[in-house]
Amino acid sequence: AQSVTQLGSHVSVSEGALVLLRCNYSSSVPPYLFWYVQYPNQGLQLLLKYTTGATLVKGINGFEAEFKKSETSFHLTKPSAHMSDAAEYFCAVRKGYGGATNKLIFGTGTLLAVQP
């Protein structure tokens, strides 16, 4: 079975500082990994995803994540935080095959606060 652990339910950074949101996964088969962002009172929006190929994935709004199989991690980073990045971020995992019964499993989320 697949599962996701997000370390740190709340992260606070200063504007301009590095953003690092941690995600570790557990999967018995090659995983597909996703990061979603949820702004206040809105639905979820895909930031980026890893399926196959390059392990460093670039997404929208300057975010990127690196799939590290040896560490079972998929941490999300952004070099310089902006006030508009304040939101809740969810890491998710899915089996890399078997689309017919293939649900997306989410972590519990990390709320990012950006201080001026």
Binding residues among 5-34 for other proteins as defined by CB under 8 A: 32, 34
User: Site for other proteins (CB under 8 A): which residue of 21, 76, 105, 114?
Assistant: 105
- Count CB neighbours of 29 within 10 A: 9
For residues 50-69, which are near other proteins according to CB under 8 A?
A: 51-52
Residue 109 binds other proteins (CB under 8 A): yes
Q: Which amino acid, one-letter code, is at 54? A: A
φ/ψ (deg, to 5) at 62: 80, 5
Q: Which residue of 28, 54, 70, 100 would you call a contact of other proteins, by CB under 8 A?
A: 100
Q: Which residues of 56-81 are buried (b: 16+ CB within 10 A; e: fewer)?
A: ebebeeebbbebeeeeebbbbebeeb
Closer residue to other proteins (CB): 46 or 56: 46
Q: Give residues in contact with other proteins (CB under 8 A).
A: 32, 34, 36, 41-46, 49, 51-52, 90, 92, 94-109
